[in-house]
Amino acid sequence: MTDWWRGSVTYQVYPRSFQDDNGDGIGDLKGIVRRLPYLADLGVDAVWLSPIFTSPMLDMGYDVSNYTEVDPVFGTLQDYDDLVAAAHKLGLKVVIDQVLNHTSDKHPAFVESRSSRDNAKADWYVWADPMLDGSPPNNWLSVFGGSAWQWDARRKQYYFHNFLTQQPDLNFHNRDVQDFHLANMRFWLERGTDGFRFDTVNFFFHDKKLRNDAADYRVLTVPEGNPYQMQYHLFSKGQPENLPWIERIRELMDAFDNRSTVGEMGETHHAIKMMGEYTAPGRLNQCYSFEMMGYDYTAAFFRSRIADFFAGAPNGWPMWAFSNHDVVRHATRWARYGVSQDALARQAGALALSFQGSICLWEGEEIGQTDTALAFEELTDPQGINFWPEPVGRDNTRTPMVWDGSQFGGFSTVTPWLPVKAPQLARNVASQLGVAGSVLEFYRSMIRFRKGSAALMTGWTVFHDVAEPVLAFTRETGTEALLCVFNLSPEGRSLHVEGVSGLAGPVQDAVLNGGSLTLGPNAVAFLAVSGPVRVTD
């Protein structure tokens, strides 16, 4: 089937935290294989694995030292092949992370590059001479704090790192670097991998002139917890050369049948516009950003993001996500908008799964999981440690998947790498599976409903002008239409609707009586369309 990714639902698995099979407290590939039937029953189309490559694990696998080998903590290449075979047997696609922007400083290419200024890999990374006073060549900042330049005494130069000092950025202006990564990707495609998620897809190229980034044009009266956000990153990332490189990747992908790409747009300015640019024909199949991973839970917000994307990129394709391994879980972020945690979790699931585009779910969101409160001494994440106590780091969302109510949640038989605490234990798969009204069963129903609806899978979106906190839109194809209505608040509302024949699909606290639609707190209503739709307050 071509374009299997269009309208699909992908489930992000964080391998360290999904299922420990060998009893070392860290999740692994064999553990994931054991849980694949759960994902197939949930109804998702694809499984995205966060990095599984050989790594010193200073950034939990996002510091790669070997792109064509599985880190022993997760298993072996044979374990990966077995996972792909098992997933395919269940009808699941396998998508893996590709961390192309940077390597570990332990990668052989960087070891060689830093050894001298005239070796074969000398220009594989971004090197620059110091200013006359010895300071870095410009003001670029690292996402993880401090200058993005690290002095290296071997070459008597600085090297550029957008993230940890142990994650030097590759120089994509060097075509040999591009060819190196195309070969790495081909290796995984030939093993049956169905697609790639590209980490920091807009970071690959830097400004050759090393011009300073500007101060953010948005006025700040109080410094950000992370000063990286105080700059407008005009030159350290987001360069026009990114797009031809993305097109080279697409050429590789198109040489294989039914493969897919999705990019992570790491941008705080014009992210929706850039998602469109990166998914234009001949580029990425899909792209997501952090736009919907913030604290805004209003109708105007969601409407603007979806409408802006398709207005600017009618031939592009977005992937929408509310949470992932880098942000606070949405059940925690948006708690004040819910009459209860379960009601909010169910509504958020229905909301995302009704959007035009593809959808990505973060492991545990289908059981309404919340962030784990961690003490400083429990942290492993360098971002969380460097910026303690805020902004909150990423360990809080990465704690192990909770399968049952046992001591370690069924994740492991020994103490896990991150703790499983009581509030998280209370929300487990076993206690919700088969239980009518549970968050898990609601997600299962909603995914089935989406997959059975042409309107939700590929239909266009028409928004209706109703007041906050209600979001109402019609998804429609040439032959099918569905009205989707959400009360994004813990207080009841009511609407008048015309052109509908009745409720359809999963419903939460919504009643249709003639032309009157009564919406309880965090209500979800899908309505079959029978004529021209009109929705009024």
Q: Which residues contact 368 (CB under 8 A, 6 or more apart)?
A: 331, 341, 342, 344, 345, 346, 427, 439
Question: 335 and 251 share a domain?
Answer: yes
Is residue 291 one of the residues assigned to a domain? yes
Question: 374 and 515 share a domain?
Answer: no
pLDDT the model gives residue 495 = 97
Question: 467 and 432 share a domain?
Answer: no
- Look at the chain and report how many structural domains it folds into: 2
What does the pLDDT look like over 365-378, one tens digit per residue?
A: 999 999 999 999 99
pLDDT the model gives residue 275 = 98
pLDDT for residue 218 is more than 90: no
- Cα–Cα distance for residue pair 136/129, rounded to 1 Å: 8
Q: What CATH number has the domain bearing residue 483? A: 2.60.40.1180
Catalytic residues: 199, 264
Question: 348 and 477 share a domain?
Answer: no
Report residue 242 as tokens.
């990114």
pLDDT the model gives residue 330 = 98
Residues 315/281, Cβ–Cβ less than 8 Å: yes
Question: 335 and 196 share a domain?
Answer: yes
Cis-peptide, bond into residue 391, ω within 30° of zero:
yes
Report residue 140 as tokens.
């670029």
Question: 73 and 181 share a domain?
Answer: yes
Residues 144/163, Cβ–Cβ less than 8 Å: yes
Domain edge (last residue) among 450, 473, 498: 450
pLDDT the model gives residue 151 = 98
Q: What is the mean pLDDT of the chain?
A: 97
Tell which residue, 423, 410, 427, has the closest CA to residue 366. 427
Is residue 214 one of the residues assigned to a domain? no
What does the pLDDT look like over 54-86, one tens digit per residue?
A: 999 999 999 999 999 999 999 999 999 999 999
pLDDT for residue 506 is more than 70: yes
Residue position matching structure tokens 């900042």: 141
Count CB-CB contacts under 10 A for residue 41. Answer: 11
pLDDT the model gives residue 294 = 96
- Cα–Cα distance for residue pair 457/332, rounded to 1 Å: 28
What does the pLDDT look like over 445-504, one tens digit per residue?
A: 999 999 999 999 999 999 999 999 999 999 999 999 999 999 999 999 999 999 999 999
pLDDT the model gives residue 225 = 87
Q: What is the mean pLDDT of residues 345-360?
A: 98
DSSP string, 293-348: SSS---HHHHHHHHHHHHHH-TT--BEE-S--TTS--HHHHTGGG-SSHHHHHHHH
What does the pLDDT look like over 164-183, one tens digit per residue?
A: 999 999 999 999 999 999 99
Is residue 223 one of the residues assigned to a domain? no
pLDDT the model gives residue 221 = 80
pLDDT the model gives residue 224 = 84
Cα–Cα distance list, 233 to 212, 214, 267 (Å): 9, 7, 9
Question: 369 and 491 share a domain?
Answer: no
pLDDT interval class at 523 (50, 70, 90): very high
Residue position matching structure tokens 């899978």: 457
Question: 520 and 409 share a domain?
Answer: no
Taking each helix axis from N to C end, the angle separating 77-89 and 29-42, rounded to the nearest 10 degrees, works out to: 10
Is residue 152 one of the residues assigned to a domain? no
Tell which residue, 369, 346, 296, has the closest CA to residue 525. 346
Question: 394 and 486 share a domain?
Answer: no
DSSP string, 124-154: SB-EEPPPTTS--SS--B-TTSSBSEEEETT
- Cα–Cα distance for residue pair 405/344, rounded to 1 Å: 22
Distance from chain centroid for Cα 533: 34
Tell which residue, 454, 467, 478, has the closest CA to residue 536. 467
Residues 291/272, Cβ–Cβ less than 8 Å: yes
Question: 255 and 400 share a domain?
Answer: yes
Distance from chain centroid for Cα 55: 21
Report residue 126 as tokens.
């971004």
Residues 411/402, Cβ–Cβ less than 8 Å: yes
Q: Is the dihedral of CA 353, 357, 363, 365 positive or negative?
A: negative
- Cα–Cα distance for residue pair 99/103, rounded to 1 Å: 8
pLDDT interval class at 220 (50, 70, 90): confident
Cis-peptide, bond into residue 419, ω within 30° of zero:
no
Q: What CATH number has the domain bearing residue 28? A: 3.20.20.80
- Cα–Cα distance for residue pair 62/279, rounded to 1 Å: 24
Taking each helix axis from N to C end, the angle separating 175-189 and 242-254, rounded to the nearest 10 degrees, works out to: 30
pLDDT for residue 1 is more than 70: no
pLDDT interval class at 392 (50, 70, 90): confident
Is residue 208 one of the residues assigned to a domain? no
Rounded to 5°, the CA angle 511-515-516 comes to: 45
Tell which residue, 342, 182, 149, 332, has the closest CA to residue 249. 182
Enclosing H/E stretch for 383: helix 382-386
pLDDT the model gives residue 346 = 98
Question: 278 and 325 share a domain?
Answer: yes
Domain edge (last residue) among 395, 418, 450: 450
Is residue 455 one of the residues assigned to a domain? no
Q: What is the mean pLDDT of residues 229-234?
A: 95
Residues 279/310, Cβ–Cβ less than 8 Å: no
- Say how many residues make up the chain: 537
Count CB-CB contacts under 10 A for residue 291. Answer: 22
Q: What's the one-letter identity of residue 99? A: V
Is residue 131 one of the residues assigned to a domain? no
Full residue range of the structural domain in which residue 290 is found: 9-100+175-202+240-450
pLDDT interval class at 391 (50, 70, 90): confident
Name which residue leads in pLDDT, 223 or 330.
330
Q: How many CA atoms lie within 13 A of 226 on its CB side?
A: 20
pLDDT the model gives residue 113 = 98
Q: Which residues contact 315 (CB under 8 A, 6 or more apart)?
A: 280, 281
Is residue 372 one of the residues assigned to a domain? yes
pLDDT the model gives residue 2 = 75
pLDDT the model gives residue 390 = 86
In the chain, % of residues over pLDDT 90: 97
Question: 440 and 466 share a domain?
Answer: no
pLDDT for residue 219 is more than 80: no
pLDDT the model gives residue 10 = 98
Domain edge (last residue) among 425, 450, 475: 450
Residues 168/149, Cβ–Cβ less than 8 Å: no
What does the pLDDT look like over 91-149, one tens digit per residue?
A: 999 999 999 999 999 999 999 999 999 999 999 999 999 999 999 999 999 999 999 99
Report residue 250 as tokens.
């697409």
